[in-house]
Amino acid sequence: MLPFIRKQAFLVFAFIMTVPLWGGLSCTPATPATVRIGYLLGDLHQLPFFVAQDKGFFKDEGINVQVAGPFDAGPAEMDALAANQLDMGYVGIAPSVLAAARKIDLSIISGVNLEGSALATEIGINSVADLKSKKVATPAPGSIQYVMLGMLLSQNSLSFSDLDLFPGTIKPPDMPQSLQTGRISGYFVWEPFVAKSVVGGYGKALVESKEIWPGHPCCVVVTRNDFALKNDNTVAAVIRAHRKAVQFITDNPADAKTIAQKWTRLDAAIIDNAFTRVKYTYALSKDDVKRFAREIISLGESGTIKPIITAGDVPDLDAFVDKVVDLQYIQR
Residue 279 has pLDDT above 90, yes or no: yes
Q: What would the DSSP string read from start to end of 47-80?
A: HHHHHHHHTTHHHHTTEEEEEEEEESSHHHHHHH
Q: What would the DSSP string read from start to end of 294-305?
A: HHHHHHHHHTSS
Cα R_g (the chain), whole angstroms: 24
Q: What would the DSSP string read from start to end of 305-331?
A: S--SS-TTT-SSHHHHHHHHB--HHHH
Residues 92 and 109 in one domain: yes
Run of H or E residues at 270: helix 268-275
- In whole angstroms, give the CA distance from residue 11 to residue 325: 55
**In a domain? residue 250:** yes
**In a domain? residue 5:** no
Peptide bond into 192 cis (omega under 30): yes
Give me the pLDDT at residue 26, please: 32
Give me the pLDDT at residue 67, please: 93
Q: Report which of residues 239 and 2 the model is more confident about.
A: 239
Confidence of residue 11 (pLDDT cuts 50, 70, 90): very low
Residues 198 and 93 in one domain: no
**In a domain? residue 263:** yes
pLDDT > 90 fraction of the chain, expressed in percent and rounded: 82
* Mean pLDDT value of segment 31-54: 93
Give the sign of the dihedral formed by CA 108, CA 109, CA 112, CA 113.
positive
- In whole angstroms, give the CA distance from residue 238 to residue 227: 13
189's CB contacts (< 8 A; 6+ apart) are 117, 118, 120, 137, 138, 139, 145, 172, 175
Residues 229 and 109 in one domain: yes
pLDDT digits (tens, 9 = 90+) for 170-203: 999 999 999 999 999 999 999 999 999 999 999 9
* Mean pLDDT value of segment 28-32: 61
Q: What burial class does residue 32 get, using C-beta atoms within 10 Å of its C-beta: 0-12 exposed, 13-18 middle, 19+ buried?
A: middle
Identify the domain boundary among 173, 188, 212: 212
Phi/psi of residue 113, nearest 5 degrees: -155, 165
Identify the domain boundary among 212, 236, 258: 212
* Mean pLDDT value of segment 268-283: 96
- In whole angstroms, give the CA distance from residue 190 to residue 322: 28
Q: Report which of residues 4 and 154 the model is more confident about.
A: 154
Residue 219 has pLDDT above 80, yes or no: yes
Residues 111 and 221 in one domain: yes
Residue 27 has pLDDT above 90, yes or no: no
**In a domain? residue 1:** no
- Which residue range forms the structural domain that includes residue 99? 33-115+216-294+309-331
> β-strand 219-224 against 88-92: which pairing, if any?
antiparallel
Give me the pLDDT at residue 21, please: 36
CB atoms within 10 A of CB 321: 22
**In a domain? residue 38:** yes
pLDDT digits (tens, 9 = 90+) for 104-158: 999 999 999 999 999 999 999 999 999 999 999 999 888 889 999 999 999 999 9
- In whole angstroms, give the CA distance from residue 287 to residue 325: 10
> What helix, strand, coil percent values describe the chain, rounded to 5?
50, 20, 30
Confidence of residue 16 (pLDDT cuts 50, 70, 90): very low
- In whole angstroms, give the CA distance from residue 219 to residue 222: 10
CA atoms within 13 A on the CB side of 129: 2
Q: Which of 275, 143, 117, 272 is nearest to 205 (CA)?
A: 117
Q: Which of 24-33, 147-156, 276-285, 320-329 has the lowest mean pLDDT?
A: 24-33
- In whole angstroms, give the CA distance from residue 171 to residue 186: 14
* Mean pLDDT value of segment 251-267: 94
Residues 202 and 263 in one domain: no
Phi/psi of residue 310, nearest 5 degrees: -110, 165
Give me the pLDDT at residue 69, please: 81
Question: Which pTM value belongs to this model?
Answer: 0.87
Give the count of domains, the chain: 2
Contact 207, 188 (CB under 8 A): no
Give me the pLDDT at residue 14, please: 41
Confidence of residue 30 (pLDDT cuts 50, 70, 90): low
Residues 101 and 126 in one domain: no
Chain-centre distance for alpha carbon 100: 15
* Mean pLDDT value of segment 266-273: 96
Residue 60 has pLDDT above 70, yes or no: yes
Residues 234 and 314 in one domain: yes
Residues 84 and 186 in one domain: no
Q: Report which of residues 9 and 49 the model is more confident about.
A: 49
Confidence of residue 42 (pLDDT cuts 50, 70, 90): confident
**In a domain? residue 63:** yes
**In a domain? residue 300:** no
Residues 143 and 231 in one domain: no
Identify the domain boundary among 187, 212, 237: 212
**In a domain? residue 100:** yes
Residues 317 and 327 in one domain: yes
Residue 25 has pLDDT above 60, yes or no: no
